Chains A and B, each alone.
Chain A
Amino acid sequence: MSISDTTFALRTAQPLLTEDAALTALCGALEPIASIPGFGLTYQSAEGLLSHVYGAAATDQCGEAMKFDLDDSGSAVLLYYREPDSPVGKLLETTIRSVLQRLEVERREKLLMDELGSNWESLEAIYEISADILRFGDVKEALQRLLNRFSSLQEGLEAGLFLTRGGRLVPLVSNKKELSPLEWGDLGVLERPIRENRAIVLNDRRAESRRPGSAPWDEAKRIAAVPITARQKVIGFLAVWRHDQVFEFGAPFCRLLEAITCSASMLLESDRLNRTMRENERLAQEIEIASSIQQTLLFGNPPRNVQGVTIASFSAASQRIDGDFHDFLKHKARCLDVLIGDVMGKGIAAALLGAATKNQFLRAVANLAIRSNETPSPDAIVRRAAGRIEDQLIALDRFVTLCYARFDFDRGMLEFVDCGHTGIILHRKQTGETLFLRGDDLPIGAMPGFTCTQQSCLILQGDSFLMFSDGVTETRSPDGEFFGEERLLDCVRAWSSLGPAILLDEIRKRTAVFSGGQPRTDDFTCIALTVLLGDDERPVARTDREFRCDPEVLADFREWTTGIGATVPDGGLDADAVSQLELACTEAFVNCVTHGSDNDGREPVHATALVHRHYITVELRHKGREFDPLEIPDPAFDGSRDSGFGTYIIFHLADEVKYRRDGDINLISISIMRKKVP
């Protein structure tokens, strides 16, 4: 048998038929044909066979050629024999076709099984590696471990993980020698795919493209690289390379490389989050320290024993630390200074500056008082304190806004200096007006050469004052809108008749609702003072009456309320006061009927009118269900609801309202100034 008698050859671009096993199978199938006299069969590696066949064709030693295309990828069988029309030739051709088809099926099955096996191995490897690296606290150590474990899967594999830092690519870990930082341009063929967040695999690099350069893989025969991403951005890449051609970087290997890169991304991101968390913990600690500074050094407690005045204050620290501060200084029984301020900036530095500023004010008051033996004026105090801190504030590039106010209730005078702070809201019951009292001085430290001007305003009975930090008006809604001054003025109008504590509580609740429950971003400070109508005064007249708890008696009840003033010898109430008292008391009486009664009106309403020098108080007592007017929602001002107006009317008309529950008795008292200031 000679190869020149009957020759077949296999030529393929795919590896399936270059393997001896496949060639053996094919030749085995051809054995019966080859045993026919005149034909012979030999086989060897496909490479040798092909060169032999082509050599024979070139010297025209072979007969006609037949080519069998296996598929579109170019796999083919080339068959030569000397007699073109020989029946044996036809048989040979048919046999080869069927054998090749069977081989193709087997090849696909094998590929599928290999892939399934590789995937399973990859998953196993990743699981093992991930579980292992979790034990390492340091991300670099964990990544080194990850890379070592991965590269050990394929002998001779070199690997390096690079991260982008300051426009360069810095090696974080590698499995062999230490690597040097690279510029993007050093990546060569890897640059574009990495920048575009694509993986790249180069299996057979030609000799001419393997030139020495800065990158460790420049002379490698096989390279693969996968980008590392975090939050949709490429932050580095993992590259593997070989200087030999052992172990091709096939599909299963590439999938494993991608999975390992994904693990590395997760490790890096997890490390970043951990560091952020630690930073947040540090910040939380700072907030706690600053909050403690604020509570102990920056916020004073309001005095409780100022006769005829009720005072309340409320402070809440924000998530960020601001330099809000406030304090109260009582000079005489009914003379009180209130200082409220805010240092520009955040953090412990601002809190400490706030404490220092407050301290300078306390020292200024003491020093000036010793010198003059009199209570120093607010503007003198502000000037002295400002003189001591101004230079330091300018040097630190900070400034302080503040308002220093003196409430002298005996003189009936408010004197204040407002250095770029929020102003003071005054709600005057006697006129019904609500307005801002402001000064126009610059914050301390804003400009050299601080000056200030003292403002003043009368204090009348029933007046309510609100001092606040900008955190109140700058509370933001989820849409970013500010709570603003107008809403704050509305709060003061609506709730000041119920006293400072309830007013501040309502401001706090309403700003919280307005912000949609978001955490505060700014410190929140409010101080409210109300000059009482005169609790300690003895009434000049008193009348008592009992009414059936029934709307039918409303006409009687109103006649009684409007007649109260007539019993007073010195002229009673003016017309506006009578109208307001009539309407507010009617609403309170209807509340007794609507909300208070469980027993068909059998329990009477006890009404008491106390006429004082400047005001009248009507007190209604009624046994019934607990009814808290503060729980009633605001009415619908668009007219969509009929109810809810009663309580609103009482709060707005009365100069002072008190509600309490005494056993099973509801008690509401409504006070109105007898003479309204025109």
Chain B
Amino acid sequence: MQLTIEKIETVTVVVIPGTTLDASNTKGFKGEVASLLTSGAHVIFDLRNLKFVDSSGLGAMLSSLRQINSLGGDLKLCAMNKPVRALIELVRMHRVFEIFNTREEALRSFGLVVPDAAQA
């Protein structure tokens, strides 16, 4: 899995490619995320492409959150589609992850000054 990574000031935005994150590709995903781990990293997973996430995909995201937190950093999620949001809420992980509707909102939550996408 080749993640698309953008560095916006102090924040790393990871766009997950493909439409699914499930048991078939979580191993590759975890490997890619591991290479991003630095002390105090501010990371956003942009989930706009994902149409389907299963419990394995959810587990991979939780694992990333715990690793980033353990290094003093933070991980936030943004731009998730309805089925993905439904899964996250079904298993109550919306209480664990910080979730934003848009990437701009997520960036602002890290203290960046970002105009809305519509205005930009």
Contact B24 A645 (CB under 8 A): no
How many whole Å from A672's CB to the nearest CB in chain B? 14
What are the interface flags for B74-102 relative to A under an 8 Å C-beta threshold, 1 for contact and 0 otherwise? 00000000010011001111011100000
**With A and B bound together, what is the CA distance between A59 and B24 in angstroms?**
127
Contact B63 A555 (CB under 8 A): no
The answer to whether A676 has its CB under 8 Å from any CB of chain B is: no
The answer to whether B66 has its CB under 8 Å from any CB of chain A is: yes
Residues of A within 8 Å of B52, CB to CB, are 558, 582-583, 586
Residues of A within 8 Å of B47, CB to CB, are none
The answer to whether A48 has its CB under 8 Å from any CB of chain B is: no
How many whole Å from B90's CB to the nearest CB in chain A? 6
Contact A554 B55 (CB under 8 A): no
The answer to whether A491 has its CB under 8 Å from any CB of chain B is: no
* Chain A: CB-nearest residue to B22: A554
The answer to whether A551 has its CB under 8 Å from any CB of chain B is: yes
Contact A649 B24 (CB under 8 A): no
Q: How large is the interface on B (under 10, 10 to 19, 20 to 34, 35 or more residues)?
A: 20 to 34
Residues of B within 8 Å of A642, CB to CB, are 58-60, 62-63
Residues of B within 8 Å of A649, CB to CB, are 54-55, 87, 90-91
* Chain B: CB-nearest residue to A552: B24
Contact B59 A639 (CB under 8 A): no
Contact A639 B93 (CB under 8 A): yes
Q: How large is the interface on A (under 10, 10 to 19, 20 to 34, 35 or more residues)?
A: 20 to 34
Residues of A within 8 Å of B91, CB to CB, are 635, 637, 645, 648-649
The answer to whether B65 has its CB under 8 Å from any CB of chain A is: yes
What are the interface flags for B20-39 relative to A under an 8 Å C-beta threshold, 1 for contact and 0 otherwise? 10111000000000000000
The answer to whether A579 has its CB under 8 Å from any CB of chain B is: yes
**With A and B bound together, what is the CA distance between A639 and B62 in angstroms?**
6
Q: Which secondary structure dominates chain A's binding surface?
A: helix
Contact A590 B56 (CB under 8 A): yes
Residues of A within 8 Å of B55, CB to CB, are 587, 590, 643, 645-646, 649
**With A and B bound together, what is the CA distance between A594 and B54 in angstroms?**
14
With known contacts A582-B52, A646-B55, A637–B24 Cβ distance under 8 A: no
Contact B90 A590 (CB under 8 A): no
The answer to whether A107 has its CB under 8 Å from any CB of chain B is: no
Contact B95 A637 (CB under 8 A): yes
The answer to whether A593 has its CB under 8 Å from any CB of chain B is: yes
Residues of B within 8 Å of A587, CB to CB, are 54-55
* Chain B: CB-nearest residue to A648: B91
What are the interface flags for A576-606 relative to B under an 8 Å C-beta threshold, 1 for contact and 0 otherwise? 0001001100110010011000000000000
Residues of A within 8 Å of B87, CB to CB, are 583, 649
* Chain A: CB-nearest residue to B97: A639
How many whole Å from B34's CB to the nearest CB in chain A? 15
The answer to whether A652 has its CB under 8 Å from any CB of chain B is: yes
- 8 Å CB contacts to B: which residues of A625-648? 635, 637-643, 645-646, 648
**With A and B bound together, what is the CA distance between A49 and B67 in angstroms?**
102
**With A and B bound together, what is the CA distance between A400 and B24 in angstroms?**
59
Residues of A within 8 Å of B60, CB to CB, are 642
Chain B contact residues, CB within 8 Å of chain A: 20, 22-24, 52, 54-56, 58-60, 62-63, 65-66, 83, 86-87, 90-93, 95-97
Can you pick out 21 interface pairs between chain A and chain B where the beta carbons lie within 8 Å of each other? A551-B24, A552-B24, A554-B24, A558-B20, A558-B52, A582-B52, A583-B52, A583-B83, A583-B87, A586-B23, A586-B52, A587-B55, A590-B22, A639-B93, A639-B96, A639-B97, A641-B62, A642-B60, A645-B59, A652-B90, A653-B90
Chain A contact residues, CB within 8 Å of chain B: 551-552, 554-555, 558, 579, 582-583, 586-587, 590, 593-594, 635, 637-643, 645-646, 648-649, 652-653
7 A-B pairs with the lowest CB-CB distances in the bound complex, closest first: A642-B59, A639-B96, A645-B55, A551-B23, A646-B55, A551-B24, A554-B24
> With contacts A554-B22, A586-B54 known, what are 15 further pairs, Cβ within 8 A?
A551-B22, A552-B24, A554-B23, A579-B86, A583-B54, A583-B83, A590-B56, A637-B93, A642-B58, A642-B59, A642-B63, A646-B54, A648-B91, A649-B55, A649-B91
